[in-house]
Amino acid sequence: MSKTTAAITAVGSYVPDFVMTNKILETLVDTNDEWITTRTGIKERRILKGEGLGTSYLAIKAAEQLLEKRKLDPKEIELIIVATATPDMMVAATAAYVASEIGATNAFAYDLQAACSSFLYGMSTAASYIESGRYKKVLLIGADKMSSIIDYTDRTTCIIFGDGAGAALFEPNNEGLGLQDEYLRSDGVGRNFLKMDAGGSLLPASEETVKNRQHFIYQDGKSVFKFAVTNMADSAAKIMERNNLSHNDVSWLVPHQANKRIIDATSNRMGLDDSKVMMNIQRYGNTTSATLPLLLSDYESQLKKGDNLVFAAFGGGFTWGSIYLKWAYNS
């Protein structure tokens, strides 16, 4: 009997309408389009406007697009995982709300948080549920409203992040397609380089923390950059090596969109031509948990059954890794 693997069988995505261009950022902080473009590759990002709209709004829209495209009855979904660093609330799981709102009344649902590696780790989690044989339809959604934790007076972070969401359905496959291998790592030494200081159990919210702007994301960009370049490239190279994949065998690199220079370093290390590198950072910036599924959604029409995809991500914590997946369908 052939082994059951976990394949992605549908994708969906959503980005909000409001486009925050580099020109708009020039009016908020001391920066310019040329600096942002050459240092990061970002031209614009999407921002969710409107009272009372949180990450769940983005996640629901992405899930609804997937359901509509696949003509899938939400009642068939058994598990929903929302990968996010910006849940609607600290305690109530955003995923539970998303499940109810999309009509997935037979599913259980929870959130998964590993900063910018949330979706990558979530792929491992979703695939494991399928491979175990216990569940047949797992919906993984990567969604982040990064604008809710960005200080728009801090030019070192506000130029990078944007809002968005993407969703991927995992189902069993008996043709050997889907997730093939993973190399996932973490190192707590990184937590001082990229973090949001307050609002957690270590430093609960207070008048002081608000005054000190500690509810916004902080990063030591230079250090994060160095760790990200090394580790994303190393893990992608490792996945290729232990699966005997040459650059000719890799159809696509699906890299976390944090900085174009980090993506270029990873693809160079893999020996890949630019035409095999998925990229949309210029339009969306870094959407944290949403970068990987947003890429899948944008590139879906170019993907062919059997294509070898190498995912690579790096995020706060530090967390990072790489996943090798065979694409399972022609759209």
Is residue 217 involved in binding ligand COA (CB under 6 A)? no
Q: Name the segment binding ligand COA (CB under 6 A); options: 168-176, 196-204, 223-231, 294-302.
A: 223-231
Closest separation in Å from C-beta 172 to ligand COA? 32
Per CB under 6 A, the list member of 4, 31, 251, 282 interacting with ligand COA is 31
Count Cβ neighbours within 10 Å for each residue of 210-245 and write b for 16 or more, e otherwise.
eeeebbbbbbeeeebbebbbebbbbbbbebbeeeeb
116 is catalytic: yes
Residues numbered 117-156 forming contacts with ligand COA, rule: CB under 6 A: 155-156
Q: Is 215 helix (H, G, I), strand (E, B) or coil?
A: coil
286 is catalytic: yes
Cβ contact 200:138 at 8 Å: no
For residues 245 and 265, give the distance between their C-alpha atoms in angstroms, rounded to a whole number: 18
State which residue has the least CB distance to ligand COA.
221
Q: Reduced to 3 DSSP states, what percent helix, strand and coil does the chain have, rounded to the nearest 5?
A: 40, 25, 35
For residues 117 and 311, give the distance between their C-alpha atoms in angstroms, rounded to a whole number: 11
Closest separation in Å from C-beta 227 to ligand COA? 9
Residues numbered 189-208 forming contacts with ligand COA, rule: CB under 6 A: 194
For residues 116 and 223, give the distance between their C-alpha atoms in angstroms, rounded to a whole number: 16
Is residue 219 involved in binding ligand COA (CB under 6 A)? yes
Q: Name the segment binding ligand COA (CB under 6 A); options: 29-37, 172-180, 270-278, 304-312.
A: 29-37
Largest CA distance in the chain: 62
For residues 116 and 44, give the distance between their C-alpha atoms in angstroms, rounded to a whole number: 19
For residues 257 and 152, give the distance between their C-alpha atoms in angstroms, rounded to a whole number: 20
Q: How many residues bind ligand COA (CB under 6 A)?
A: 21
Nearest to 63 by CA among 82, 78, 45: 82
Interface characters, 52-91, with ligand COA (x: CB under 6 A)? ----------------------------------------
Is residue 43 involved in binding ligand COA (CB under 6 A)? no
Is residue 159 involved in binding ligand COA (CB under 6 A)? yes
Is residue 254 involved in binding ligand COA (CB under 6 A)? no
Name the residues annotated as catalytic: 116, 256, 286
Residues that bind ligand COA (CB under 6 A): 31, 35-36, 39-40, 116, 155-156, 159, 194, 219, 221-222, 224-225, 228, 258-259, 286, 314-315
